[in-house]
Amino acid sequence: MSHILLECQMLILTFTVIVDFQESLDEVTVKDMLEGDNMYTCSKCQKKVRAEKRACFKKLPRILCFNTMRYTFNMVTMMKEKVNTHFSFPLCLDMSPYMEKNLMGPDKLNSDDDEDDGFLVLDDDNGDDESFEYELIGVTVHTGTADGGHYYSFIRDRIHCSESGQDKW
């Protein structure tokens, strides 16, 4: 079984039918077996080998942004269409289930020395069980069609809380 790590600094998630952000992350990180006609060509031996393919996060930025790209292509009209179904997202997001260390297992990980480039990195040497929890601080909403429209934002005001102590949006 071959294992290849591809590093990516930005992830654009394309969802159509899925209605929940965490379900979307689960779908993106699902393991796909490359076998049969879809086998991976090994770069060392140039032979076709069975392999696992999956998206996962090796390191995360201090501020995490997602673009959900909720569009589909209508094969009847041959046009791109915007998906306008309800899409829920959490106020707090734990990214640890989507980290490479938790999805791949320690036996399949490369031990590269990563320098501090503004990313949070799981470090096996320090023994800390680091948390990868994020709080939602903003949402951008698109109005219009797949071909055009306008954007507006909801930003969480963490400084000026309401009388009940809740953050204002």
Closest CA to 97 of 33, 23, 12, 34: 23
Name the 3-class secondary structure at 10.
coil
Q: What gap in Å lies between CA 1 and CA 22, rounded to an integer?
A: 29
Across the range 20-32, mean pLDDT stands at 87
pLDDT reported for residue 125: 43
The percentage of the chain sitting over the pLDDT mark of 70, rounded to a whole number, equals 75
| 113-161 pLDDT per residue, tens | 444 444 444 444 444 556 799 999 999 999 999 999 999 999 998 788 7
Q: What gap in Å lies between CA 68 and CA 161, rounded to an integer?
A: 29
The percentage of the chain sitting over the pLDDT mark of 90, rounded to a whole number, equals 31
pLDDT reported for residue 3: 44
Q: What gap in Å lies between CA 88 and CA 136, rounded to an integer?
A: 12
pLDDT reported for residue 110: 59
41 DSSP β-pair partners: 48
Query: 141: buried, middle or exposed (CB in 10 Å: 19+, 13-18, 0-12)?
Result: exposed
Q: Which H helix or E strand runs over 48?
A: strand 48-49
pLDDT reported for residue 160: 81
| 65-94 pLDDT per residue, tens | 888 878 888 899 999 999 888 889 899 999
pLDDT reported for residue 13: 58
pLDDT reported for residue 15: 54
